[in-house]
Amino acid sequence: MLTDKLKTTIQDAYSHILESKEIKPRYGQRLMIADIARTLGNIDHDNPEQPHICTLEAGTGTGKTIAYIVAALPIAKEHKKKLIISTATIALQEQILLKDLPDIQRHSGLNFSFTLAKGRKRYVCLHKLDNFIAHKNQTDLPLDIPANEVLLNNKDDILLYDDLYQAYKKKSWDGEIDSWHDSISQSSWLPLTSDQHQCSGKRCSFYNECIYFKARESIFKVDCIIANHDLVLSDLNMGGGYILPPPDECIYIFDEGHHLPLKAINHFSYSFHINTTLKWLEQVNSTLNNFASLAKPPAQIQQIITHFPEQAKDITTEIHNLETIVGQFKFPENRFSSPTRNATGNSKDQILRFEFGQVPEPLKNQCQQLLKQFEKLTGQLLHINTLLKDTLEGEITGLKTEVAEQWMPALAPMEGRASAAMNLFEFFTQTDKEGQPPNARWLHKIDQVNNSSFNSLKSNDTQGIELSCSPILAANTLEQILWSQCYGAVVTSATIAALGNFDRYVLNSGVPGFFNILPSPFNYQENVEFIVPQMHSNATQYQDHTDEVIEILKKIIDPDKGTLVLFASKKQMTDVEYELLRSDDIWKKLLLTQGQRNKQVIINDHKKQIDKGKGSVILGLNSFAEGIDLPGKYCEHVIIAKLPFSVPNNPVDASLTEWIESQGRNAFMEISVPDASIKLVQACGRLIRKETDKGRITLLDNRVITKFYGKKILNALPPYNITLNAAID
């Protein structure tokens, strides 16, 4: 129950901040504090009708961080829970850690401690670093160093590792990649890191010095932990309590919460690449043979290793049978991109998506055979890793402790990879529950050299076939691992609701509880003109629309001011840029186009031009429509070339559309229109960043006037001063 004592603590903290910082209370901020306090302060897990989660849309300028800290932290401390603040971007994480929390701590009168939680990959593994240094001058690979664990021929990495080692010994470096004085490439850094499979924990001889475990220990001692969505999901995927405190001991704040469903989908997707798996099997055989030669393991383990070549041959045969079956499928000509791989832009890559996730019987039967093979292999590798762990625990196994410590980092990940393959084939053979959203399942034929997301080998030859599976919605998963497990949660963002309601977000996330859209502190009616000009072209007619956009831009862009022009497609952006540059030399001084330079460099150059009293125009895509801050004179005009409708251009989105329509529902109205509405609001949000900001938004797409859904999209915008069919002089 929200006691009078808690109410007073929250009210006093808020009053202290207002007085100390000499700022005025914001109506939306006060409502947000009240909603959070009411939800979290009255949690009763014995009463399913009593919500323990609230989802709040709070626009820019609301002061979300102050609101959720002031409301949630006293409640968390009172109930002896940890407050986890999770963000989607590093920029917001750093702002909360370095600016917001110290500021609230200084001005609120609240006494609390906080720290930043990072994943293992941000910390050096001292065991691995020491191992590399011990063998840095050896030209041949000794048996006690696994083949995939060392790069003896890479002189640059050897020099880097030596520098890191010396700096750590001199205490001039703390072992975190983020604190090293120079950038380190992922290919150089990852060999120095560990994961939950490789780490021997307290059994490691470097445990007392371990940077990761020291950081983890500090996490469990503080009141407030700053994390990111990926880290939270990784912990929950392992059952909770491994990286962060257990979910039933936590109150989560998901800032930038609109990103959470997609992050969850990506976390629970699986892929299996045929060629890289065949190479991996060869590596497993080599590593096991080296291990057997050095360690002389017990008879049962030796038997597994002795028979592994035969087992690998059986797996290889089944994989080749899989290739034969896949070769009989006709891959359609399409432009699907695979969400499990980095976009390549290669039209030769082909994807065959199975309708409703239903795998054809011949392929399903072959996946069943591979499921049996990888279940067996996973069990055997688990048996070997259990032996290594038992040895490190001090049990008598016939192995030396130092041998187990040496080989666990190499052998443990093999179990993880075999298990991932097992999961993929399990998903390909199982039948989805009737009435529930099906999993998306597809084959990806890769006709170019590319790095596979499933491949941990340093090989460029990854041509071939990849099998992939992904949930199409995160709702069931998040309900199982998060919503039903956590003590309490707050989900917030500037854009969560679509078309004035939370239906789309609930479909994606499954979040239960209390929902509210909070009022903005900005006077949009007076400060923002939203204009849809008279247009002769339809936005779906590419060339006519592009030609008209070019002509309108020449008329409405003020060359002396800061302008942001947002496009829905890269092709239209580059075509517009080309025509503007060839039309007049003035555009060469004005235009800054996404892709030509780093995003932050473009923003900095834009601000420098404005600071000099000159005009500047950024041409950008979707990534410039969210998360960038161009207050005041840096952006006085936002021009949106086209409504940001997205097509189902990957198997997950296509499968979701298919499932919704199979139920007699309208996927365009349930997905496309709400998503376009959210993206439009996000794009418009680049204009007003402070209460004193003013400016204009121009939408060069008359579908908001001519189409039946246009009124819904316009009504979902903030209360701008809207002019439709405006004449362009």
pLDDT single digits (tens) 39-70: 999 999 888 888 999 999 999 989 999 999 99
pLDDT above 70 (res 393): yes
Q: What pLDDT does residue 458 have?
A: 36
Core vs surface per residue 50-73: b (16+ CB within 10 A) or e: ebbbbbbbbbbbbbbbbbbbbbbb
- Going by pLDDT thresholds of 50, 70 and 90, the confidence category of residue 250 is very high
pLDDT above 50 (res 346): no
Asked if 272 contacts 421 with a C-beta cutoff of 8 angstroms, the reply is: yes
Q: Which tens digit of pLDDT belongs to each residue from 347-362?
A: 457 899 999 999 999 9
Q: What pLDDT does residue 651 have?
A: 93
- Going by pLDDT thresholds of 50, 70 and 90, the confidence category of residue 454 is very low
Q: What pLDDT does residue 331 have?
A: 87
Single-letter amino acid, residue 668: F
4-113+222-265+476-517: CATH number: 3.40.50.300
Domain ranges of the chain: 4-113+222-265+476-517, 120-215, 269-473, 524-726
pTM value? 0.89
pLDDT above 70 (res 388): yes
Neighbours of 610 (CB within 10 A): 20
Q: Which has the closest alpha carbon to 265: 581, 656, 622?
A: 656
Task: Say whether 425 sits in a helix, a strand or coil.
Answer: helix
Q: What pLDDT does residue 340 have?
A: 58
Q: Which tens digit of pLDDT belongs to each residue from 666-696?
A: 999 999 999 999 999 999 999 999 999 999 9
Task: Say whether 489 sits in a helix, a strand or coil.
Answer: strand
Q: Give me the residue label for tokens 């059986």.
A: 314
DSSP assignment of 240-251, as one string?
A: SSSSS--GGGEE
Q: Which tens digit of pLDDT belongs to each residue from 656-671?
A: 999 999 999 999 999 9
Give me the mean pLDDT over the 582-609 stretch: 94
Crossing angle (nearest 10°) for helices 401-429 and 126-134: 120
pLDDT above 60 (res 206): yes
In terms of CATH architecture, what is 524-726?
3-Layer(aba) Sandwich (3.40)
Question: How far is Cα 568 from Cα 703, in angstroms, rounded to an integer?
Answer: 15
Question: How far is Cα 175 from Cα 569, in angstroms, rounded to an integer?
Answer: 42
Q: Which has the closest alpha carbon to 225: 123, 85, 67, 110?
A: 85
For 251, 536, 552, 674, 704, the CA distances from 722, given in Å and listed in that order, are 41, 20, 18, 20, 12
Question: How far is Cα 224 from Cα 222, in angstroms, rounded to an integer?
Answer: 6
Q: Name the residue with higher pLDDT: 452 or 587.
A: 587
- Going by pLDDT thresholds of 50, 70 and 90, the confidence category of residue 334 is low
Core vs surface per residue 2-23: b (16+ CB within 10 A) or e: beeebeebbeebbebbbeeeee
Neighbours of 212 (CB within 10 A): 22
Helix/strand/coil percent split, the chain, to 5: 50, 15, 35
Q: Name the residue with higher pLDDT: 38 or 457.
A: 38
Crossing angle (nearest 10°) for helices 27-41 and 4-21: 150
Across-strand partners of 591? 617
Q: What pLDDT does residue 639 have?
A: 98
Q: Which tens digit of pLDDT belongs to each residue from 547-558?
A: 999 999 999 999
Q: Which two tokens stand for residue 299?
A: 């008879």
Neighbours of 238 (CB within 10 A): 12
Domains 4-113+222-265+476-517 and 524-726 share a fold: yes
Across-strand partners of 724? 532
Give me the mean pLDDT over the 640-649 stretch: 90
Least confident segment among 95-99, 316-320, 382-386, 448-452: 448-452
Q: What pLDDT does residue 10 have?
A: 97
